[in-house]
Amino acid sequence: MKIDEQVWTFFHNHLGYSDEEMIKFKENPRNQEVISKGLELTNKTIVAEVVHSHGCNSQHKLGDKFYLDGAGNLISKLCPKRMCLYAVSALNPLVFSVNELLYAGKNPNEILFKRCGCSDVGLQCGGWGRVVMEVSVVDRVDQ
């Protein structure tokens, strides 16, 4: 798929690349493929809902939701006021998987392992608490 020059200009400015860096960026076939399929990402929101929480120092509760745009950026105004780094960082492999499925033209909600948890092992195992989240993808939520 041919990518419109306006799209390349957007990324040139957005990423702050020099002209030389942009040439290298455009020459990479993977970048061309990701950009050509990336429009789908802009129309999606990734939602990570807390499905289990006990003893969470950050006070995350059952039903709390973390919202990310399709590219994996937290939409902070839609998220809890406090966000535990250990819980948020656990989302990394799932957000990556969602992106890969979208690029492959697959439904990201069919991901088989869609749950992750913070790195705290919980009180029973010598930690403090435990938070488990489940990821889903919805049509874009106003950001």
pLDDT band at 13 (very low <50, low <70, confident <90, very high): very high
List pLDDT tens digits, range 55-110.
999 999 999 999 999 989 999 999 999 999 999 999 999 999 999 999 888 999 99
Residue 42 has a pLDDT of: 84
Closest CA to 131 of 48, 47, 54, 68: 54
pLDDT band at 120 (very low <50, low <70, confident <90, very high): very high
Check: CB of residue 131 under 8 Å from CB of residue 50: yes
List pLDDT tens digits, range 17-61.
999 999 999 999 999 988 888 777 888 999 999 999 999 999 999
Residue 49 has a pLDDT of: 98
Name the region of 123 (left: φ>0; alpha: ψ -120 to 50; beta: rest).
Answer: alpha
pLDDT score of 141 more than 90: no
